[in-house]
């Protein structure tokens, strides 16, 4: 069995089920890319990371922004900008993904993983703190 890049730890659960499920799915997708790579399925890894995962990131950001808007979160604009920057950096990875330089691809995957985990633990946590304080 392929070793997982990361196991979704309890501390990354924010307490809002729909959002938590999306975060879990994102981490699963990163693990899945890593697994495909480890099995030597380069083309599948390429398409999975560059399309499936990338599209799901966008979907998640949209859902999360809708949620923040629905609770009147004052940090919405700032959070949206952070999402936009990540989407841009993901788009900039396209040549790396297409040309498939394995070392560069692995670095991109690892960077995306680090970014997503740190974003959940720091930036996403802030709107949850606000949400809880409003209840
Ligand atoms: Fe998120
Ligand atoms: Fe976010």
pLDDT recorded at residue 100: 85
Classify each residue of 122-134 as buried b or exposed e, where b means 16 or more C-beta atoms within 10 Å of its C-beta. Answer: eebeebbeebeee
120 Cα: distance to centroid of ligand 1 (angstroms):
5
pLDDT recorded at residue 116: 95
Instruction: Express each pLDDT in 53-107 by its tens digit.
Output: 999 999 999 999 999 999 999 999 999 999 999 999 999 999 989 888 999 999 9
Helices 76-91 + 54-70 axis angle, to 10: 170
Q: pTM (2 decimals)?
A: 0.90
96 Cα: distance to centroid of ligand 2 (angstroms):
25
Instruction: Express each pLDDT in 1-59 by its tens digit.
Output: 566 655 566 668 898 999 999 999 999 999 999 999 999 999 999 999 999 999 999 99
Let me know: does 87 contact 59? Beta carbons within 8 Å. no
What are the structure tokens assigned to 79, written together? 């959070």
pLDDT recorded at residue 1: 53
Q: Residue 44: count other Cβ atoms within 10 Å of its Cβ.
A: 16
39 Cα: distance to centroid of ligand 2 (angstroms):
31
Q: Which domains, and CATH codes, for the chain?
A: 17-134 (1.20.120.50)
pLDDT recorded at residue 11: 66
CA dihedral 77, 129, 58, 50 (to 10 degrees): 120
94 Cα: distance to centroid of ligand 1 (angstroms):
22
pLDDT recorded at residue 10: 63
């Amino acid at each position: 069995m392929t070793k997982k890049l990361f196991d979704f730890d309890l501390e990354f659960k924010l307490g809002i089920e729909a959002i938590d499920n999306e975060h879990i799915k994102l981490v699963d997708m990163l693990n899945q890319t890593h697994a495909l790579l480890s099995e030597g399925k380069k083309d599948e890894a390429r398409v999975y990371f560059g399309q499936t995962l990338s599209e799901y990131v966008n979907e998640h950001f949209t859902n999360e922004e809708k949620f923040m808007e629905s609770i009147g979160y004052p940090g919405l604009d700032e959070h949206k900008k952070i999402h936009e920057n990540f989407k841009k950096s993901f788009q900039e990875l396209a040549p790396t993904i297409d040309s498939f330089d394995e070392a560069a691809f692995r670095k991109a995957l690892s960077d995306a993983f680090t970014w997503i985990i740190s974003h959940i633990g720091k930036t996403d946590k802030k709107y949850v703190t606000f949400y809880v304080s409003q209840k």
